[in-house]
A = this chain, B = another copy of it.
Amino acid sequence: MRLSILFGGASFEHAISIVSAITLKEKLSSFELNFIFLDAEHIFYLIDSDSMKAKLFSSGDYKKKPQLSLTSGGFVQKTMFSSKEYKDTVLNLIHGADGEDGTVASLLDFFSIKYIGPRVDASVFSYDKRYTKYLCNAKNVKSLDYEVLSRNEHTNIKMSFPIIIKPSCLGSSIGVSIVKNESELDYALDTAFEYDDSVIVEPFIEGVKEYNLAGYMANGEMKFSIVEEPQKEEFLDFDKKYMDFSRSEQVLKADIDEVLVNKLKLRFTQIYTGLFEGSLIRCDFFVIDDEVYLNEINPIPGSMANYLFEDFASSIEELSASLPHSKRIKADYQYIHSISKAKGK
């Protein structure tokens, strides 16, 4: 099948997205792929498959590639005398800002482009960790207690140490710190506030069991990956998670019983249904005293969590065939007629 991989973006995870795209080039080698790079200036470039190397981007050489612009149904490459259109389904692989905050979803919907990825509302609920808490609350899915600090009022944390401090809107552990006592607090807050005006505080639970599960809906049915127990030290820092984004070897199933697997799938389904259709997401869970807690939703996981799926290429193909239709509403002028009449004009 044909697919356009959209990657890059004006995001702290810009480079991660490039690595994800390079990984998918390999994992989806049976597909006919186009690569569409969004640079930090918000210009789109068409990158041929052979040029898909990290250095092309870090060197700035990508600027020599043809520019694309958005058009109804896809992207278009305009030259002096002609134009070529790229109208394949898009896989949104822009991690973080632009890709996961609702921007790309809105752009693609506006231009009637079919895509794999979270829709605008799903993006908003997963991009900002505060809103993920609202969602958990509404969907009756447990998550850890939390406090929200804003840049201007960050002295009165009520929770007791150790705590974990995260910018509200960043993934990949960027700006995240574990704070064991008061003396470490200021530095951790300064770090987090470098990335966001809002910071979320949660209890840090030493040695908590973590499980990751990915999945998507196709033909009205949930399809799940294997459950992974991520290796970790205290928590995965950016460098380690980063290596994750280039992962392509399948991992081993977590050694847990069916009861827990089913609990994880149930929580995943509660979060996913009615909101995340069209996307393949990874949910990261904690398990505490046999209870499942949602830690984080990754609506565009690194390299699409390919390593969790037995047959990743078939999964993407299946999902592509089951994307939500964006319903364009037709204009209706009957009320203009009735107001004109009412006003006697």
Q: CB within 8 Å of B: which residues of A?
A: 8, 10-12, 14-16, 18-19, 39-42, 54-55, 57-58, 72, 97-98, 101-103, 105-107, 109-112, 120-121, 124-125, 128, 130-131, 133-135, 137-138, 150, 198, 238-239, 242-243, 246, 274, 328-340, 342-343
Q: Can you list 16 A-B contacts (CB < 8 A)?
A: A10-B328, A10-B331, A18-B336, A19-B336, A19-B339, A40-B330, A42-B110, A54-B336, A54-B340, A57-B333, A58-B333, A97-B329, A106-B120, A107-B110, A150-B274, A242-B339
- Quick one: given A107-B110, A110-B107, A274-B198, are A329 and B239 in contact (CB under 8 Å)? no
Chain B hits for A138, CB < 8 A: 130, 133-134, 137
Q: How many copies does the complex hold?
A: 2
Chain B hits for A98, CB < 8 A: 110
8 additional contacts, CB 8 Å, given A18-B336, A120-B124, A150-B274? A10-B330, A12-B332, A15-B332, A15-B336, A54-B339, A55-B340, A58-B337, A246-B343
Chain B hits for A39, CB < 8 A: 331
Q: Is the interface of A mostly helix, strand, loop or mixed?
A: helix
**A274 → chain B, closest Cβ, in Å?**
7
Chain B hits for A338, CB < 8 A: 239, 242
Other-chain contact of A246, B19, B238, B339 (Cβ < 8 Å): B339
